[in-house]
Each structure stands twice: as structure tokens, then as C-alpha cells.
Chains A and B, each alone.
Chain A
Amino acid sequence: MIGAHDLGGKQGFGRVLSARNLDAIASDSPEPLFHAEWERRAFALTLATGMLGQWNIDESRHARENQEPQRYLDNSYYETWLVGLQKLLYAKGLLEPEELESLPFAASVDIATNRSIQRHDRSTIEPPTPAKAAELLARGGPTSLPDFRQPKYAVGAKVQVLPMTHAGHTRAPQYVHGATGIIYAINGVHIYPDANAHRRDEDTIVGEILYTVSFARVALFPSYASYAASGGEVSEDKRVRGSVTTTDASTIDKGDIKECNQDRVFVDLWEPYLTHD
């Protein structure tokens, strides 16, 4: 889905370092990990319930991103985690609708969107002990699969990213849809998120070759003022683009910062996202 979470290249969000983030500029003054106790608890509850093995990381990401765009953008980071957690608890049958509704301020969660997720039998669920949890955190969950199929594209090959062909979860960001790039690395077979986010118990895990694809930043985002690092002279074409950018109301005062034509953007993309250029 091309939801509000798909933020790359979107405009109008302003400065990264707002007044309340100023402490983050000085790397030596560590920003608190959690800004309120509820954030700390929401984080821990998300990881602890994730360890029950009732959903995978792609289902979890999809539960968070699959919100009304205005709500996604309005929510703070851990509010979105909380929305995702509650949806999954409901959708997997770990909590009943009336249990969720019994919580205070229930109206803030829209659980309807994930009703299609398969429900599980919870009689066998055992929450991990602290020792087991520590072991699970230390082990992690690799997504690479022991599958040595031949990659379709070689390093250096020119590829084009396909437009989205389904409305479900994907990890191909919108800003590369239709764009042409070059295969920079082949990273073996990894679990394919587009299938995994919607996988039912009886389905096998789908893996696809994962590539790192290199794109020219200026080709992805031609509207940003740019210069040619090698040339010196900025072309007339670039000057025009530059002037358009500076009058755009969505841009912010950047002083005399210009982006460079030589800059690259690398995106990790699975084989089904790509076609020969």
C-alpha cells in the first residue's frame, strides 16, 4: 500500500531538528529513549507479545502503517506502535473486541481494518520468561533463507522498479516506483514481505532474492536544486529547476545549500519489484 507511512521525498514537513529535538543535536547529551512512561510500557508490551509467535514482523509493520493517513501522521511514534499492537491482539484472537472496548479511551483504535487476519487458538500460548526473552532478543530473527536460486539480475545490471500491483503490504517505497537504477549488490534470498504480511498458517514462507539497487538522487528528485560535482558550470536546465524549488511554499529556508547531481540513493528491493530496464 502507498500509505502515509511511505514518506520518502514527500514535502512540507519542515526541519528535522525542531525546538523540542534540539537536545539531539549535541550527540553527547543523550536524548531519553522514552519521553513518557507509557512509551516505555508500549515498547515492552509490543516486544513481549511479539515473542508469543502469533505474528511476524511484516504483519506487525502492516498493522501500523495500515491506518487512515491523517491518523498515521497525527499519531506519535509509540501511539502507532500501540495501534498496531491492539489490532494484532484483536485480529489474532488474543483479545476479544469487548476486552479492547473495556479499556479506557477505546475510540482511539480502529480495529476494523485488520479483520481479515487469521485468528489463532491461544490455548497453547506460553509467555516467555525473562531468561527466555533475553535469549530471543540476543538471537534475533534472521530473514535470510537457505535458498541458492540464480538471481535474475547481475551486479551492474540496469533495472526498472515496477509500479505497485497490489494494495497490500510492500517495502518498495513510492519514490522509486517506475525509476531506473543499477544493481549494486545481491543479498541472497530473504523472506518476501509482500507475501509474508498476508501469510496464513497453511501457506509456506515465500522467499525472493533481495537486491540493493543504486539510484541517481537527481533522477528520483529532479525538483531539488542541484549542481554537477565534476563540471563546475551549472546548466541552464538546473538553474531553472533550482529557481522553481526556492519558490515552492513547501520547502524551507536552507540558506545556500545545493544538492549534488552525483549523489546516490540505495534501496533494498526484492526481485518481484523489478524488471529489465
Chain B
Amino acid sequence: MSNSEDHDHDHDHDHDHDHDHTALPSELELRVKALESLLIEKGLVNPETLNEIIDTYEHRVGPRNGAQVVAKAWTSAEFRQALLTDATDAVASLGFMGRQGEHLKVVANSDDVHNLVVCTLCSCYPWTVLGLPPAWYKSAPYRSRAVSEPRAVLAEFGTHLADTTRVQVWDSTAELRYLVLPQRPAGTEGWSEAQLAELVTRNAMIGVEVVNPPETNEVRG
């Protein structure tokens, strides 16, 4: 059977398509190029707009936004409270708003609770704070297993929780978009927001990892 892990472009398995699979990426390249030309020619797409869209998600909207949100919540009890009450508003106060972030929810980890986000039906993800999702987040293994065996999935990411910590999985089936607020690691007392933001990983904000304490011998400027 097909192995979905290979899916993004390693089409090395047998199936019923009528073309040679090793050539698939270039077929797609040609088809998309032809479609783009056709849409431009028909006046349905402005080519400059395509570049604007790509630039937005490649350079301006990404997980550093979310890291900034998390670092602020770690240093300001007031902001943390605002974030947990109305995440859309609180995140907008930092200038992050827009598509796939219209209705944000922030779920906070604690010693007792660990949160994990998935979209089992497609690939819903909080773009305004995390950018576009990584390939594994959109993959069949993650989408199928995150709800049924979350601890086995977490273990694959090297995350092992205490037996007493409850896992809460959030399946983004509507337009609410979930961001995990990880626990602030020990050894970061007195750190600035900017220093803390550097520790926050995309994976921790999806919930497949925790934020690790800094290397003890690392000199922080």
C-alpha cells in the first residue's frame, strides 16, 4: 500500500495513475505554470499579487510572531490574562492579525495539563502567529494519530510527559485557531522578552514539544 509519509513528492509506490511517477514533480511544474499563464492572460490574476502573497508568508508571517506572543505572556501576568480571555484581541495588540487568525484561542500548559493542536479534517493552523504549517502537521500520520494516541505521537518528538499530566488535544474543526502557551522553562529568571522569544519553538506552540531550559553554559547577551 502507499506510504503516506513519502507523500510530498516521493512518489515511489505503485498506483493507478496513468503517468510515470518519477516525472511527477516536473509534470506538476508544467501544469501549474500553464495554469498561472492562463489565469494571468484572462485577467483573473495579477502576477504582482502572486509575489506579494508569497513574500508575506515566506518573510513576514511566521512562528517568530507566536514566539513574541509567548514571551510576552511569560513576562506580563496582565498580558497572559488578556491572552487567555480573548486571544484574538491580545494578539492583535502586538500587530498580528488577519487570515487564519480571525478567531484565536490560546491554551496554556501547566504541570497538570499539556495541550496539543491538530486538524484531523484538513490543515487548519493559526497562520497569523505560526505562519504556514510544516509538512508533518498536514500529513496523514499526524492527523490520524494525534487524537487517538497523542502520547505515542509526542514520544516521536522526544516529548515524554509525567503520568499525572493530562493531555488535551484540540482538533481545529471550525474557524477557531489554537496556539499552545508552553511553560516557561527554569533558568530564565530575569530574561528579557527578546531573549525568551528566542527559546520558543514552533513545535512547542503546536504542542508536540516543550520549551527546554537554556544550556547552562550558554552566555546570553
Contacts and interface: CB of A to CB of B under 8 A. Distances in A.
A21 B157 CA distance: 11
Contact of B136 (A11, A21, A227, A268): A21
A266 interface: yes
Interface in A160-178: 171-173, 175
Interface string A81-118: 01001100100001100010011110110000000000
B174 A171 contact: yes
25 contacts: A5-B121, A8-B120, A9-B120, A12-B1, A18-B3, A20-B5, A24-B203, A38-B29, A38-B33, A42-B32, A43-B132, A47-B53, A51-B49, A95-B42, A105-B30, A108-B31, A127-B45, A140-B97, A140-B99, A187-B176, A229-B163, A263-B169, A264-B166, A266-B168, A266-B169
A6 B173 contact: no
B102 A130 contact: no
A264 B169 contact: yes
A134 B140 contact: no
B99 A259 contact: no
Contacts of B42: 94-95
Given A49-B44, A64-B122, A262-B166, A13 B8 contact: no
B51 A21 contact: no
A25 B202 CA distance: 11
Given A13-B145, A33-B57, A212 B46 contact: no
Contacts of B73: none
Contacts of B148: 8-9, 11, 175, 217, 220-221, 224
A137 B39 contact: no
B143 A7 contact: yes
B147 interface: yes
A15 B156 CA distance: 8
Given A104-B31, A130-B52, A221-B148, A49 B18 contact: no
A37 interface: yes
Interface residues of B, number: 99
A31 B28 contact: no
A127 B43 contact: yes
Nearest to A225: B149
Interface stretch (A69-77, A150-158, A197-205, A236-244): A69-77
Interface of A: 5-21, 24-25, 27-28, 31, 33, 35-38, 40-45, 47-49, 51-52, 57, 61, 64-65, 70, 73-77, 79, 82, 85-86, 89, 94-95, 99, 102-105, 107-108, 122, 125, 127-130, 132-134, 136-144, 171-173, 175, 187, 190-191, 193, 210, 212, 217, 220-221, 224, 227, 229, 254-255, 257-260, 262-270
A125 B173 CA distance: 31
Choose among B6, B56, B148 the residue with the greatest number of A CB atoms under 10 Å from its CB: B148
Interface in B60-90: none
Contacts of B30: 104-105
A57 B51 CA distance: 22
A51 B53 CA distance: 11
A5 B156 CA distance: 23
B194 interface: no
B134 interface: yes
B3 to A, nearest CB: 7
B99 to A, nearest CB: 4
Interface stretch (B9-17, B183-191, B213-221): B9-17
Choose among B5, B33, B102, B142 the residue with the greatest number of A CB atoms under 10 Å from its CB: B5
Given A15-B5, A43-B132, 5 more contacts: A7-B144, A16-B157, A45-B45, A77-B7, A105-B19
Contact of B168 (A86, A104, A263): A263
